[in-house]
Amino acid sequence: MDATVTRRWLLARLYEPEQTIVDCRFTLGKPEAGRESYEQEHIPGAVYLDLEHDLSSPVGEHGGRHPLPEPQVLAARLAKLGIGNHSRIVAYDDESGMNAARLWWLLRYLGHEQVFILEGGFSAWKAEKFPVTDHQPVRVPSTFEPKVQPQMLADVDQVRQVSEQTVNGGTHAGTHVSVSDAASALPILIDSRANDRYHGKNETLDKKAGHIPGALNYFWKDTQNADGSFKSAEQLAEHFAELDKDAGIIVYCGSGVTACPNVLALEKAGFKNVRLYAGSWSDWISYEENPVATGE
Q: Which residues are catalytic?
A: 253
Least Cα distance to 130 among 2, 272, 221, 10 occurs for 10
Least Cα distance to 103 among 34, 25, 31, 177 occurs for 25
d(CA 259, CA 280): 9
Q: Are 153 and 278 in contact (CB under 8 A)?
A: yes
Q: Are 98 and 135 in contact (CB under 8 A)?
A: no
Sequence-distant (6+) residues with CB within 8 A of 116 are 1, 2, 3, 4, 5, 88, 89, 90, 91, 104
d(CA 289, CA 25): 36
For residue 13, with 0-12 CB atoms within 10 Å meaning exposed, 13-18 middle and 19 or more buried, which class applies?
middle
Q: Are 140 and 82 in contact (CB under 8 A)?
A: yes
